[in-house]
Amino acid sequence: MADINDNPYLAHMHDSSSNGSSTGANKAFSQLVPGQTTAAQQEAVEDSSHNGLTGAAYSSRYKSILAKRRDLPVNKQRQGFLDLVHNNQFVVLVGETGSGKTTQIPQYMVYDLLPQVEGKMIACTQPRRVAAMSVAQRVSEEMDVKLGQEVGYSIRFEDCTSSKTVLKYCTDGMLLREAMSDNMLSRYSAIILDEAHERTLNTDILMSLMKTIALKRKDIKIVVMSATLDSEKFQKYFYDAPLLTVPGRTFPVEVYYTPEPERDYLEAAIKTALQIHATEPEGDILVFLTGEEEIEEACRLLSARGDELIRRANCGPLLIVPLYSTLPPNMQQRIFHKAPEPRTPGGAPGRKIVVSTNVAETSLTIDGIVYVIDPGFSKQKVYNPRVRVESLLVSPISRAAAQQRAGRAGRTRPGKCFRLYTEKSYNNDLIEQTYPEILRSNLGSIVLQLKKLGVNDLVHLDLMDPCAPEVLMRALELLHYLGALDDDANLTPIGHMISDFPIDPQLAKMIISAADYGCTNEVLSIAAMLSVPNVFLRPREAQRRADQAKAEFAHMDGDHLTLLNVYHAYKGCTQPDKWCWDNYLQYRSLKSADSIREQLRRVAAKCDIPLVSNNFSSPDYYPNIRRALTAGYFMQVAHLERGGQYLTIKDNQLVLLHPSSVLERKPEWVVYNEFVLTKRHYIRTVSEVRPEWLLEIAPHYYDLSSFPPCEGKRVLEKLALRNAVVGDKKPKKDRSEKKEKKRKSDKEKDKDKDKSDRKKRDKKDKKDKKHSSD
């Protein structure tokens, strides 16, 4: 291998390590019997002078918080909850906003199961990291312990727990990862799944997993908590589990509908907002729109027309604030600013208008909102398994989402919600619930995780909403081509490794293959850069300057190597935030790429993947990186046809290079990272590849007999023919090719073997699919 000093991409590399351990004596809650406590007993322990977990005297703050906790709606049902938990393995709990379920229920479980005595922890999952962190912080205060000791949290990049931890808040993805190495979750005596109504991919998988675990572990308790009244579905799914309903603590919200459908919801939203400002009493406004562009447009119009209103109608001043996730953090902070003061003392009050995407629906809470304007749309992810493309579509929201939006008006006092659609439309056109994510996603990564979790029969996988068989087939097909699954759909050694990486399977395959080409260091950086939101900024007012800045990083072989250049330059600069600003780069994305790279590096090291680089001056330095790309993304290749347009391989989709690509010269063969479906079909993040690599690296996929006719096929055929003629003279073949060859010949042999029914069915499905995609 090369001298590391030759390679500018490695200048940043350094090791890091962390360690921490501590022990402490616990005093048992001597009068309590695990799994048989009463509310009165629990309260007596809480009321005593000393903390049973730490042995220390309770602080005065503890006592004042305790009084407030006793006042929460959920506390009135403490005994009822304990009765249900004692007599059932599964309990479903529906609690609206303000019920206190997220903070209190896990504590009741601690007092009931006494994890400090029994040696098994209690986990409470959250869909989002911030929630896991902030709730753990709050609960550690309520229990009068130091965060990270008895009460902690565990999220990606941060494990804030210790050997003393008895209650752990974590993201559902984190618990799922843990289950991959401990299939029975044997460290836990209870799992509490919070926000289950959101039906995120990870929650759905966890729920299914909990059913399997519960069958084999009669000692584990499972509480599923949700905020909606859609409880019957949850009860039924969990073997007719009992239900506990806890009222919330919010203010009433009056809902208004438009008498006629609105033709232009953007215009209607702006009009409504200004009308509220002119006629309604003090209180801030929250407007829900679908995306960045729409929001910026609305803010421009609002501020122009607002100014006019202020001049002509003597209204109060306006503070107009856009809100979407890619907005820089300092701009996001503006949502917490106070509404402006009247222009003159005693004049018309000022008002804040927040124009937001869905972030304000669940992730972010803005205090002081009294009026909500809901046009009834949001951008939603949809997955089309036929073309294997996930895309974002503006779609009508569900009734549940509409209720959630309306609820945002009643957090501090009674509010009003203006729906820009008719009541009839609300009742007849909107669906009850948003389709769960699992029905709208590519499942490649999920199927692999399930395999790792020990789920072998995916067809009969017990999900709350079973996914479409075609989506499963697509996932199995992808994993099979990547070499992650064998012909019996069992995990291969490579599959085990891929599943250890918390990224798309193609990306993981790319990293693993990079070892064959001596360039794991570089490919790790590229994989990290591909795992974060777009790093290139292009503000409307500085597009040319932004493009020039980007051109400085451009690599002639394509966008992947351009990303490598950016990452390297980022690591080499002294003032990263300023440097990013000067170069029109998203600092947040680069920082996050850096953490992800470190995580991937650790996983790679754990898998014994050598961390290596080629000699930087070698002519093969860059081609080898692109070979590794090909090893992961050989299924996402496009060929330039004579008409000057690209056709994707096998699917024969007409696509264009995305205008953001640095590739101006249209190479004949390209791999792409992403298929973007908007007004046109684009391929984004694209690099040139050699056709002979395709045949070498993925001969099982580039089996030309199964190819639909196209120009690209003819090129490959000629190439294959030539290879066959000169084949014997070519002594050196790379390792991965040999491996693939062997796999393929095994596959041929396998065809003659006796097969199980399921396997036959799988094969048949595959064949059918091939026909349909022709």
Partner DNA sequence: GAGCACTGC
Q: What are phi and psi of 630, to 5 degrees?
A: -60, -35
Q: Which is nearer to DNA, 163 or 543 (CB)?
A: 543
Contacts of 333 (CB under 8 A, 6+ apart): none
3-state class (DSSP) for residue 207 = helix
Exactly one of 51, 75, 77, 200 binds DNA (CB under 7 A); that residue is 200
Q: Which is nearer to DNA, 339 or 526 (CB)?
A: 526
Report, in Å, the least distance between residue 591 CB and DNA. Answer: 14
Exactly one of 107, 125, 165, 378 binds DNA (CB under 7 A); that residue is 378
Q: Which is nearer to DNA, 300 or 680 (CB)?
A: 680
3-state class (DSSP) for residue 639 = strand
The structure tokens listed for 730 are: 């070519």
Question: Residues 632 to 661: which contact DNA by CB under 7 A?
Answer: 658-660
Report, in Å, the least distance between residue 663 CB and DNA. Answer: 11
Distance CA 562, CA 222 (A): 48
Exactly one of 115, 127, 407, 444 binds DNA (CB under 7 A); that residue is 127
Residues 77-116, mask of contacts with DNA (x by CB under 7 A): ----------------------------------------
Distance CA 422, CA 5 (A): 67
Element containing residue 321 per DSSP (H, E): strand 318-323
Residues 510-539, mask of contacts with DNA (x by CB under 7 A): ---------------------x--x-x-x-
755 binds DNA (CB under 7 A): no
The structure tokens listed for 92 are: 């479903």
Residue-wise DSSP of 15-47: ---------------TTPPTT---HHHHHHHHH
Q: Which is nearer to DNA, 315 or 372 (CB)?
A: 372
Distance CA 196, CA 177 (A): 18
392 binds DNA (CB under 7 A): yes
- Choose the stretch contacting DNA; rule: CB under 7 A; options: 216-224, 231-239, 318-326, 513-521: 318-326
129 binds DNA (CB under 7 A): yes
Report, in Å, the least distance between residue 750 CB and DNA. Answer: 31
Question: Residues 672 to 701: which contact DNA by CB under 7 A?
Answer: 676, 678-680
506 binds DNA (CB under 7 A): no
445 binds DNA (CB under 7 A): yes
- Please report the beta strands in 410-464, taking only residues with DSSP state E, as ranges in sequence order: 415-419
The site that binds DNA (CB under 7 A) totals a number of residues, namely 46
User: Which of these, 592, 467, 576, lies nearest to 531 by C-alpha position?
Assistant: 592
Q: Which is nearer to DNA, 88 or 391 (CB)?
A: 391
Strand 351-356 relative to strand 318-323: parallel, antiparallel, unpaired?
parallel
Q: What is the DSSP letter of 752?
A: H
Other beta carbons within 10 angstroms of residue 281's beta carbon come to: 8
Within 259-328, residue ranges assigned H as helices are: 265-279, 292-313
Element containing residue 395 per DSSP (H, E): strand 389-396
Distance CA 706, CA 723 (A): 19
Element containing residue 379 per DSSP (H, E): strand 377-384
547 binds DNA (CB under 7 A): yes
Distance CA 392, CA 411 (A): 30
- Choose the stretch contacting DNA; rule: CB under 7 A; options: 9-17, 284-292, 336-344, 470-478: 284-292
202 binds DNA (CB under 7 A): yes
- Choose the stretch contacting DNA; rule: CB under 7 A; options: 169-177, 403-411, 695-703, 713-721: 169-177
Residues interacting with DNA, by CB under 7 A? 127-130, 155-156, 171, 173-174, 176-177, 200-202, 290-293, 324-326, 357-359, 363, 378-381, 392, 445, 502-503, 531, 534, 536, 538, 543, 547, 658-660, 676, 678-680
